[in-house]
Chains A and B, each alone.
Chain A
Amino acid sequence: MLNPYEPYPVRIDEIITETEDRVLKTFKFVFLNPEDEEKFSYKAGQFAELSVTGQGEIPIGIASSPTEKGFIKFTVNKTGKVTNYLHQMKEGDIMGVRGPLGNSYPWETLEGKNVVIIGGGFAFTTLRSSIVHMLANRDKFKEIHVIYGARSPGLLLYREELMAWEAEGDIKMHITVDATDDPDWKYNVGFVPTITEEKAPPADDDTYAIVCGPPVMIRFTQPVLDNLGYAHDHIINSLEKRMKCGIGICGRCNIGDQFVCKDGPVFTLEQLNSMPGE
């Protein structure tokens, strides 16, 4: 019988330290049973439970894109018991991945539309997945803007890719940092809400914003998008909660009658407005 709690066994293929503070590492996994890769068919915006055998599971957004084959990858912030242990693990180690879980960004709605991605800090993982997905299907989307900020240049995720996307020009990149003393820094300096105010495209029925970042960024970006005239059903958020089962059964990640793990993690702001304010 299909057991939704059973992880696919994977091998850690590569570990990349992403940020200068070394608390973010990207783990690239290869499925031990090649046929599992097909079963793990996902969309950008979904997440998975990383199962560190003997330690527990953690829900992490999928950072690779469905258009990238042969591996899946996740960027993990060193925070608690399981993530601390995972950060000590080595390439070649065996663990598990359970998923894909949750809904995704609404790709059917977004096709043929302008998309502005607004991200901050380490919440850029499923946004990376989305950007790679859109670049691989570039003709299906109109204009794509990406506004991404971190506190300093050394804390930006996927730096080389960001620079490459900026150079290629298929999408309008607006990389920013809160502050830097690097004299060669040639991108923006300023908080994400400020850069959004300056660079985000005007709102219209064909333009959707995907916003994903720390609470403080979301709180100050929201009024900017309101001023720009973005309708709340055109603003898309991805939420986080403590999770265990990831399939809407264990009971802890609800907001009202919606489970963030199963009914989300992606909700429009309009949906969130109608839910209890947890």
Chain B
Amino acid sequence: MKVIKIDQKDWDEGLGKLYDEFRLFGPVKNGDIHQFQPLTKGELPDLNFSNTRLSVKSAVYPQSQVMFEYNLDEKQEGHHIMKPASFDYPARALLGVRPCDAAGFLIAKKNFDNPDYRDPYWCESYEKTTLVGLACDSPSTNCFCTSVELGPYSEQGLDVLLVAVDGGFQAKVITEKGEALVTKAGWDKNGDEKVIEHQREKAEKRVNSAIETDKLAEKSSKDLFDAPFWEDMAFACLNCGTCTYSCPTCWCFDIQDENQEDQGIRMRNWDSCMSPLFTLEGSGHNPRPLKFHRVRQRFMHKLKYYLDKYEDGIMCVGCGRCINLCPVNIDIRKISSKMNNYQP
């Protein structure tokens, strides 16, 4: 790994060179919030932000995505046969990704790229993506990345990590993909790792919030599932699904066919375990008919099932979005503490 220095002028110029080879995405200010958006030629990402309202996951895993196309006209060749939508995605670079969100891709990858099945839509899109991170110097009050084995300067899942300094950036070039990107941009001035380390230590101390998970692995799923606190925890929940849509690690989806006259597409859409339809069966039976069943599923998945299945921590990167955006103040940290300290 090498460390480089990018002056502000070189940054602006380098991005210009990247447009030829990558579709660029970056944070753009939209009213009071920042959103990840495709950048048009000459448009610069606005890196003066805490974090984007929604995570950057949709750049790899769009909220709606065409999987297949078909035609229903029996006079046409190949009617009623599914034809996969193209996987030939253009190379993309995501600029200014916070380390928490980058780590979210590694969690989702365990699901979409597993030893038994490989989801070609997600995998091809992810492989074509270069992640240029932006270290986080002012974590918000509900950020708790340092207690999920990450941190404001975490390099996990990133190809390049930018560290904002006066007059530009110091940057760590982490992977070959990252190397290719900085070469293309012409960023080749030597940087100083000590500057990064110094800032990292300060930033990590600014993460004041934590999630308690140390005893979750030893608990039994059955005991936690049957714990008496779920109805209480879910009492205020509206099942609005904001937590699932804003989460960088939530990956659940639905598949639907949509027809327009004789043409149609089979598409997938983000789904949410907060919706009763998520599990409603044709017979009318629903294994999770009540609100608290669904809230329990969400937190058990993130904090227990995932941990048991992959033995690699919880399914959470500590970005704090679900806490910030929940209309009724449900807090994953409180729920994790309840679970962590539960004695049946």
Interface residues of A (CB under 8 A from B): 1-7, 9, 32, 51, 53-58, 77, 79-80, 83, 93-96, 240-242, 244-245, 247-254, 256-257, 262, 274-278
**Can you list 22 pairs linking A and B with CB atoms under 8 Å apart?**
A1-B118, A5-B67, A9-B80, A54-B264, A79-B282, A93-B80, A96-B82, A240-B281, A244-B255, A245-B253, A247-B116, A249-B112, A249-B117, A250-B253, A251-B273, A252-B273, A256-B221, A256-B300, A257-B306, A276-B221, A276-B225, A277-B226
Residues in B neighbouring A276, C-beta threshold 8 A = 221-222, 225-226, 300
How many residues of B sit at the interface, in one of the four size bands?
A: 35 or more
> Shortest Cβ distance from A139 into chain B, in angstroms?
33
Q: In the complex, what distance in Å separates the CA atom of A4 from the CA atom of B67? A: 11
Measured CB to CB, the closest approach of chain A to B259, in angstroms, equals 5
Residues 234-264 (chain B) with a chain A CB within 8 angstroms: 251-257, 259, 264
B280 part of interface (Cβ distance < 8 Å): yes
Partner of B120, one of A2, A94, A242: A2
Cβ-Cβ contact count across A and B, 8 Å cutoff:
133
A residues less than 8 Å from B112 (CB atoms): 249
Interface residue from A4, A242, A256 paired with B117 (Cβ < 8 Å)? A4
A110 to chain B, nearest CB (A): 23
Complex interface: chain A residues within 8 A of B221 (CB):
256-257, 275-276
Known A4-B118, A58-B282, A256-B225; 13 more pairs at CB < 8 Å: A3-B120, A4-B117, A9-B81, A54-B257, A57-B255, A93-B80, A96-B80, A242-B278, A242-B281, A247-B117, A249-B111, A252-B271, A278-B288
Main secondary structure of the interface of A (DSSP, over half): loop
Docked Cα-Cα span, A77 to B283, in Å, equals 10
Output the residue of B79, B255, B306 with the most chain A CB within 10 A.
B255
Cα distance A173–B325 in the bound complex, in angstroms:
60
Q: Which of A6, A51, A256, A262 has the most CB of B within 10 A?
A: A256
Q: What residue of chain A has the Cβ atom nearest to residue B244's Cβ? A: A251
A248 to B301, CA, bound (A): 14
